[in-house]
Amino acid sequence: MPINSLDPQSQRPADPGARASTPGCRDQDLTRALTVIVDEAVNALPDVLGASVMLHGGATVEVPACSDPVTAAVDTAQLTLCTGPSLDALDLGQEVWAPGLADDPRWSVLPDHPAWREAVGSVLALPITPPAPCPAGVLTLYCSGTGDLDRMRSTGRVLTSSAATVLHLAWAARRAHARLTDMEQAMRSRAVIDQAIGMVMAQQGCSDQTAFLILRRTSQNRNVKLRDVCRDIVDRVSSAGAPGR
C-alpha cells in the first residue's frame, strides 16, 4: 500500500506483539482538539513537514492526531518496530532531538523503513505532561532537514502546553460523566429496591425494615445481587397484575 494512501486514524502495527495504536481511550472531541494542535504546528513552522500526538493508552500507545498520511506511516513505523524518538520522549518524559536521523545510532533500524527513508530528516519530540492521572503524551515534529531548532522548540512548547490542557479537560469530562452514570444507576437501583420493599410489606404485612431484611436474606441465599432480586419481584408482581393474566 502506498504511504500516501494510509488513513491517519486507522494505523496498526504489523507485528501483533508491537505497541499498538488503538482508539481505546479516544473520543471525537479530543481527537479534533489535538488535530488542531498538530495542524497549527505544521502551519506555524515552515521547516516542519508533519506533526503528530502520541498518547499512553494504558498498556498501549495510541496516535489520536496526525497532520497527514505520511506522518501516520512514520508513527506506525515507530510503533511497529517498538523504537523511535517519539516513544523515547513518551517513556522518559523528556525532549528528544534527532538532527540527523539517518546517522543516529539510537534508532538504527528506522532509516531502513520506507516511511522514514522517504520523509524524515530530523525529529523533535516534545513531552506533553498534563496533571496526573491524565495520560502523558508527546508532540512530534518531523522535518526534511535540520530546521530552526530554537523556533521549533519555542512554538512546540506552547503547543504542548495547550495539548496538556486539552488532555486534562477531556479526562475531567470523562470522570464527571462516569460519576453521573454511577449516580443514575444508583438511583434506578434504589427505586427498584423501594418498589420491592413495598410489595413485600403488602404481601407479608410487615414493616419496611423487615421487608428489607427478607430481600437481603433472599439475595444472600441465592448469591444474587439485591437489585436483581428486587427487579425479579417487581417484574413478577407487575406481570401477575397485568390485564389478561
Does the pLDDT value for residue 24 go beyond 50? Answer: no
Does the pLDDT value for residue 238 go beyond 70? Answer: yes
**How confident is residue 32, by pLDDT bands cut at 50, 70 and 90?**
confident
Question: Are the C-beta atoms of residues 53 and 42 closer than 8 Å to each other?
Answer: no
Q: 105 vs 24, 80, 85, 90, 120, CA distance in Å? A: 33, 18, 12, 19, 15
C-alpha cell at 197: 420493599
C-alpha cell at 75: 508513527
Query: Mean pLDDT over residues 185-204, rounded?
Result: 84
**Lowest-pLDDT range, 100-114, 191-205, 211-225?**
100-114
> What's the pLDDT tens digit per position in 124-170?
999 988 877 777 899 999 987 777 888 889 898 998 888 888 877 87
C-alpha cell at 6: 494510509
**How confident is residue 3, by pLDDT bands cut at 50, 70 and 90?**
very low
pLDDT at 127: 92
Residue 11 or 208, more confident: 208
Question: Are the C-beta atoms of residues 235 and 242 closer than 8 Å to each other?
Answer: no
Closest CA to 57 of 20, 32, 14: 20
pLDDT at 177: 65
Q: Where in the chain is the domain with CATH 3.30.450.40?
A: 3-176
| β-bridge pairing 48-57 and 60-66 | antiparallel
Q: In the chain, which ranges are E strands?
A: 48-57, 60-66, 96-98, 122-128, 137-143
C-alpha cell at 3: 504511504
**Class for the domain spanning 3-176:** alpha beta
Q: Average pLDDT over the chain, rounded to whole? A: 78
> What's the pLDDT tens digit per position in 195-208?
888 888 988 889 98
Q: What SS3 class is residue 225?
A: coil
Q: In the sheet where 96-98 sits, what is the strand order? A: 60-66, 48-57, 137-143, 122-128, 96-98
Provide the CATH topology of domain 179-240. Answer: Arc Repressor Mutant, subunit A (1.10.10)
> What's the pLDDT tens digit per position in 49-93?
899 999 886 678 888 899 989 889 889 888 888 888 999 999 888
Cis peptide preceding 133, ω within 30 of 0: yes
